[in-house]
Structure 1
Amino acid sequence: MNFNQAREHLKNVLLPTHLIYSPIFSEESGNQIYIKPENLQKTGAFKIRGAYNKILKLTDDEKKRGVIASSAGNHAQGVAYAARELGIKAVIVMPTTTPLIKVESTKKYGAEVVLHGDVYDDAYQKAKELEAQEGYVFVHPFNDQDVLEGQGTIALDILDELPQTDVIVVPIGGGGLISGIACAAKQIKPSIKIVGVEPSGAASATEALKKNKVITLPEANTIADGTAVKRIGELNFDYIKQYVDEVVTVDDYELTEAFLLLAEKHKLIAENSGILPLAALKKLEDKGKNIVPVVSGGNMDVLMISSMINKGLISRNRIFNFSVNIPDRPGELAKITHIIAQAGANIVKLAHNQFKNLSRFRDKEVQITVETNGSAHIQKLIELFEEKGYKIS
């Protein structure tokens, strides 16, 4: 693959996404972390790189036929954008579960959108049917050499900006991004380590490596919708075996923590599949290394953003729910709120239940939700309640 040629193809298309040093992720992982923010890329994700490189290289006859693609969202927008810029018809098949923001964004780039199936694999089958019926050229999101070539230009960006990079951490869905990055990075710097990250509910590369062959998972169950792929590409599996040093998995709770830290400390919003590398940083055995996690996309529904923030706050012990029994007499509730204020916590919600059957007849239960600064702060709150003679649960 000619990654330098691909970069030349893309030089007037891409936005610069310079590395961002992260004090918080560096501290949490014991390494020097430099985020590659492809969530700030044109169309909101890295996918424009591979899609544009592929479509640009089509023959004139192929361009006249138009292109079709299947995508959970970001590849859709990359193909739609590239097709519009090059004057080519584009049809995109997307799962019915695709976030509305990705569907609408794809339409705005001028593509015809067909919604079909629950996951990427269902949309792929429908797109292949339409390819056969209408004669379109299929632009695969990951199992294609020209697409991988475009995605690999990310490695060139990283190593141009930080030649002393020791490790690049990359999300894995179908495997196109990591295949391109790993191949390009190892060509430039053979000693570099490439780590892939999958959601535990859709770990198709992990299972393929265990069995030494591409397999189809029975389901892909993860909040990281962009990587909810039941089967990685055959081509990609070959590249992963050859160039990728390690593949780790993270669960949905770990994703919510990474999302919260990125939003709170860097004021950046990235989609769940895009933050897989950030969630995996604490799992790496490397210490004191220069590590670049590729944050691959930022196209996220506002309701999902709200949900991720709330879940992240709970996961990092920033929200604490508890109940306490108090005597049913005037002034007792004020004592409770005073203890909370003394601890420096902020009440989010407070409700008392006079009708719950408690062991002591004249007691009532107070249910409280507070904002805290983390586990140590919660422990301080518990100790203050105990000092005042209250037992909380």
Structure 2
Amino acid sequence: MSDRSLLDQYVRRILEARVYDVAVETPIHAAPLLSKRLGNTVWLKREDLQPVYSFKCRGAYNRMAQLSEEQLARGVICASAGNHAQGMALGAKHLGIRAVIVMPRTTPEIKVRAVRNHGARVVLHGDAFDDALLHARELEEKEGLTFVHPYDDPDVIAGQGTVGMEILRQHGGPLDAIFIPVGGGGLAAGVAAWVKYLRPDVRIVGVEPEDAACLKVAMEKGRREVLKEVGLFADGVAVKQIGKENFRVLKHYCDEVITANTDEICAAIKDTFEDTRAVTEPAGALALAGLKNWVAKHGAEGKALIAIQSGANVNFDRLRHISERAELGEQREAILAVTIPERPGAFRQFCQAIGKRAVTEFNYRYNDPQQANIFVGVQTRSGGADLLPLLEALRDKGYPVEDMTGNEMAKLHIRHMVGGPSPRNDLAELLFRVEFPERPGALMAFLLALGGRWNISLFHYRNHGAAYGRVLVGFHVRAGEQSALRADLKQIPYPMVDESDNPAYQRFLA
């Protein structure tokens, strides 16, 4: 199939897509504060205003609307951790058909409750999406249901493509680029197909979390690859492999893929709130985070840019974590490890040394009669342009200082537990950062998995309202036992990072 015939096929499907029985045409809102700051004109396509607070109802309903009467009579099934599930449940309710939604047991209660409120049957199975998907396929066969894929299906792609149709109809002026969040690629493929057919001059930029960049890898290698691990912060786009049909479109019509990290996504959530008073989920702000990175990368000025604000299904509990990281993502806060003299008045002198910048955080515990290691947050100008001069000024004044702003362990754990080293100088200590499925009893299951052989010397756990819990755990080991400990930890089926050499640990806890 030629490139043009592929576009013809999808444009026809998009024109015929049945989405407005359940979806609404969402507006494009200007982002004046962000536009002024970036020196470009920025708009947000507000898919968070859908009845299920996400664009997913478009593709899910369009797929179900294409089913035969026999298939509709038997019902539909899907595996989803959230937004696709809600879109399916809403569509099935409108059609008056049976819907079974298989969700991981780690799915936040707000999403489970939303699906049930639309009348769908929820089956909780497994700790991750892959477990739920396997069980959904088993139920599909056993109960004669029709499976509706969340992204890798032409009808789903066409349904999501109506977002692109609305963008070009609503925005008739100059348009340089559209930024689209990418998980499995349904939204990106649909929008790209429509826009490139009518406006091939408009740049299509896919945006992924830097720790779940399956499209970026596929574009670089020219083929789809399965990522070994994906980050879970932006759970709506935490996909290990781009869809097959989606990549068939995107390899031709996605001009560029750009990534954003957790802090940058949090900053974009704050930007969205300041311009629209809407609170998005992490995946919902991903496109805007990518837009900001793209502007910085290319030095863009005076461009007309649209970011698709794809969803707002966020647990209220997560807002604490998001607000903590937003200033770091905007580079308006720096986290520093500084050594100051242990004497009265030393902190006052340090504050004088940093000038008029506000201290946003200060963690300290007495440990040494000569010097103190402090963990301090300092307000900086947007973009962090004044951070390097600050570091140089502090060093000139005799303060040993280390920038911890990019240190994930320091931001997730150390800032909440600065307390000094272990008193057991006769034993070595090894430190690990772990992620495990977040559900009732999961923390106890993790502790039981560690067994009784090893003595835990340090433990920090903080629930961020996400699907996965994060733990920092230390172990005391005797000489010659380090290899045995690492071998035992490999048997625990959770992502784990050895942080024993992390400078934040060495300064504050070692």
Asked if Structure 1 and Structure 2 have the same fold, meaning a TM-score greater than 0.5 normalized by the shorter chain, the answer is: yes
Matched ranges for 1:220-369 at <5 A: 220-281=230-291, 282-284=293-295, 285=298, 287-320=301-334, 325=340, 328-329=343-344, 332=345, 343=356, 345=358, 353=365, 355-359=366-370, 369=377
- Distance in 2, matches of 1:2 and 1:187, equals 13
1:87 positional shift: 0.9
State yes or no: 1:109 paired with 2:118: yes
Matched ranges for 1:155-170 at <5 A: 155-164=164-173, 165-170=175-180
Which residue number in structure 1 is paired with residue 225 of structure 2? 215
Instruction: State the identity as a percent.
Output: 36
SS in 1 for 2:317: helix
Which residue number in structure 1 is paired with residue 49 of structure 2? 40
CA contact (8 A) 1:45 1:299 kept: yes
Larger CA deviation: 180-189 vs 368-377 = 368-377
Which residue type is aligned with residue 181 of structure 1?
Answer: V
Deviation readout 1:303-339 (Å, 9 max, x if unpaired): 222201101123334445565746755xx48956995
SS in 2 for 1:154: helix
- Distance in 2, matches of 1:170 and 1:207, equals 17
State yes or no: 1:3 paired with 2:14: yes
Deviation readout 1:62-103 (Å, 9 max, x if unpaired): 111111011121000000011112111111122333333222
State yes or no: 1:19 paired with 2:32: no
Larger CA deviation: 27-36 vs 292-301 = 27-36
**Cα gap change, 1:121/1:368 in structure 2, threshold over 3 Å: closer, same or farther?**
closer
Larger CA deviation: 156-165 vs 186-195 = 186-195
Larger CA deviation: 122-131 vs 368-377 = 368-377
Which residue number in structure 1 is paired with residue 195 of structure 2? 185
CA contact (8 A) 1:171 1:197 kept: yes
1:12 positional shift: 4.6
CA contact (8 A) 2:22 2:91 kept: no
CA contact (8 A) 2:41 2:302 kept: yes
- Distance in 1, matches of 2:394 and 2:200, equals 58
- Distance in 1, matches of 2:363 and 2:76, equals 57
CA contact (8 A) 1:257 1:316 kept: yes
Which residue type is aligned with residue 160 of structure 1?
Answer: R
Select the structure with the greater relative contact order (CA < 8 A; seq sep ≥ 6).
1
Which residue type is aligned with residue 368 of structure 2?
Answer: N
Which residue type is aligned with residue 254 of structure 1?
Answer: E
- Distance in 2, matches of 1:24 and 1:170, equals 21
CA contact (8 A) 1:92 1:112 kept: yes
Which residue number in structure 1 is paired with residue 439 of structure 2? none
Which residue number in structure 2 is paired with residue 83 of structure 1? 92
1:41 positional shift: 1.6
Larger CA deviation: 235-244 vs 316-325 = 316-325
- Distance in 2, matches of 1:186 and 1:34, equals 19
- Distance in 2, matches of 1:326 and 1:216, equals 51
- Distance in 2, matches of 1:76 and 1:48, equals 9
**Cα gap change, 1:171/1:376 in structure 2, threshold over 3 Å: closer, same or farther?**
closer
**Cα gap change, 1:33/1:359 in structure 2, threshold over 3 Å: closer, same or farther?**
same
- Distance in 2, matches of 1:352 and 1:287, equals 44
Which residue type is aligned with residue 2 of structure 1?
Answer: R
CA contact (8 A) 2:52 2:87 kept: yes
Aligned residues: 383
Which residue type is aligned with residue 255 of structure 2?
Answer: D
TM-score (norm 2): 0.67
Which residue type is aligned with residue 97 of structure 1?
Answer: T
CA contact (8 A) 2:263 2:328 kept: no
**Cα gap change, 1:148/1:117 in structure 2, threshold over 3 Å: closer, same or farther?**
same
Larger CA deviation: 26-35 vs 46-55 = 26-35
**Cα gap change, 1:196/1:335 in structure 2, threshold over 3 Å: closer, same or farther?**
closer
1:227 positional shift: 1.0
Unaligned stretches of 5+ residues in structure 1: none
- Distance in 1, matches of 2:218 and 2:388, equals 44
1:32 positional shift: 1.6
**Cα gap change, 1:166/1:377 in structure 2, threshold over 3 Å: closer, same or farther?**
closer
- Distance in 2, matches of 1:386 and 1:213, equals 49
- Distance in 1, matches of 2:237 and 2:189, equals 15
Which residue number in structure 1 is paired with residue 158 of structure 2? 149
CA contact (8 A) 1:199 1:222 kept: no
Which residue type is aligned with residue 170 of structure 2?
Answer: E
1:277 positional shift: 1.3
- Distance in 1, matches of 2:347 and 2:241, equals 58
CA contact (8 A) 1:200 1:222 kept: no
> What RMSD, in angstroms, separates the aligned Cα atoms of the two structures?
3.1
Larger CA deviation: 28-37 vs 143-152 = 28-37
CA contact (8 A) 2:354 2:390 kept: no
1:257 positional shift: 2.4
Which residue number in structure 1 is paired with residue 209 of structure 2? 199
TM-score (norm 1): 0.85
Higher helix fraction (1 or 2): 1
- Distance in 2, matches of 1:245 and 1:74, equals 27
Which residue number in structure 2 is paired with residue 74 of structure 1? 83
Which residue number in structure 1 is paired with residue 141 of structure 2? 132
1:234 positional shift: 1.2
1:366 positional shift: 7.0
Deviation readout 1:248-268 (Å, 9 max, x if unpaired): 222223222222322344322
CA contact (8 A) 2:34 2:275 kept: no
